[in-house]
Amino acid sequence: MRCTFCEKDAVLRLRHANLRLCPEHLVSRVEKEVEKAIRKFRMFVPEEKILVAVSGGKDSLGLWQILTKLGYRADGLYLDLGISGYSQRSREYAESFARDRGLRLFVVRVEDEVGAGLDEITEVLRGSPCSHCGTIKRYIMNRVAWEGGYAALATGHNLDDEAATLLGNTLRWDLAYLARQYPVLPEGRKLVRKVKPLIYLSEREMVAYCLIEGIRYIYEECPHSRGARSLFLKDILNRLEDESPSTKITFLKSFLRVHKIFPKAPEEELRDCPSCGMPTGAEGLCRFCRIKERMRERAPA
């Protein structure tokens, strides 16, 4: 199988884009698609400082590599959630990536912030680990980005992630979630702009990109594994894609084209959390400080 653009052997066939790519042309396509997304959605400009949330996985480390190669000023943030058997190893991948390339990585331990890691938090507060995890991640990522004066916080959500989220939101016709599902969420008071530059790139492209660029990343998913639901939705989309290539990209791009018809929820009135000063829609403490408080209450004196 020959590369669509040159004489070399292709290593990846992308039916949805009608392309067969050699390593060199795959790398150049991936980087171009990211640049395209950044410009189309006006995510940020080269003068702005970006913070990339890196989990140690292929998407976020790949994203960090792409942004630095494209000449953006991007630092990294790794959150050590304290998930036994997982956090330590994923942290090592993020740290060695940064060390090898001389990049700046912030590491924040949830245990230092909350007094306990996610395993213990879930044991005490019950409920789904992913929901506590989501609250904690969103809060710390935003706070670190805001305190560091970053213009935007970038995450590694890819085409497969976004299409699966979109399918889930559509199946419920969740208008509020549909309105909020967009590659750029603008900044607000003490809220940093959130961007997803990998929306046009599939999981397979990111795996191939990391392999070619020599990026070592953690293969395993988090053991709490985002719930069976999102894996199930991804599987359904993969089956549709097999039958009819470009299902995912068309689904996502068509949605983004009509996105403005989804009514934006009225601006939630945000106030400062009386404890940490960060914005919250809730009365009293923000959700993060509530987790902290409940963990403190149960800690032996």
Binding marks (x or -) toward Zn ion, 124..153, rule CB under 5 A? ------------------------------
For Zn ion, which is the closer residue by CB, 238 or 275?
Answer: 275
Rule CB under 6 A: is residue 222 a binding residue for ligand FES? yes
Select from Zn ion, ligand AMP, ligand FES, none the partner in contact with residue 129, using the beta carbon and a kind-dependent cut-off of 5 to 8 Å.
ligand FES
Q: Which does 224 bind (CB under 5 to 8 A by kind): ligand FES, Zn ion, ligand AMP, none?
A: ligand FES
Q: Which is nearer to Zn ion, 22 or 222 (CB)?
A: 22
DSSP states along the chain: -B-SSSSSBPSEEEGGGTEEE-HHHHHHHHHHHHHHHHHHTT---TTSEEEEE--SSHHHHHHHHHHHHTT-EEEEEEEE---TTTHHHHHHHHHHHHHHHT--EEEEEHHHHHSS-HHHHHHHH-S-HHHHHHHHHHHHHHHHHHHTT-SEEE----HHHHHHHHHHHHHTT-HHHHHH-SSEE--BTTB-EEE-TTTT--HHHHHHHHHHHT-----SPPTTTTHHHHHHHHHHHHHHHHHSTTHHHHHHHHHHHHGGGSPPPPPP--EE-TTT--EESSSSS-HHHHHHHHHHHHS--
Work out whether 51 is an interface residue with Zn ion (CB under 5 A): no
**Binding-site size, Zn ion (CB under 5 A):** 11
Interaction residues for ligand FES, span 109-168 (CB under 6 A): 129-130, 133
Residues of span 11-30 touching Zn ion by CB under 5 A = 22, 25
Which residues sit at the interface with ligand AMP, rule CB under 6 A?
A: 53-55, 59-60, 77-79, 81, 155-157
| CB 236, min distance to Zn ion, A | 33
Q: Which residues bind Zn ion (CB under 5 A)?
A: 3, 5-6, 8, 22, 25, 273, 275-276, 286, 289
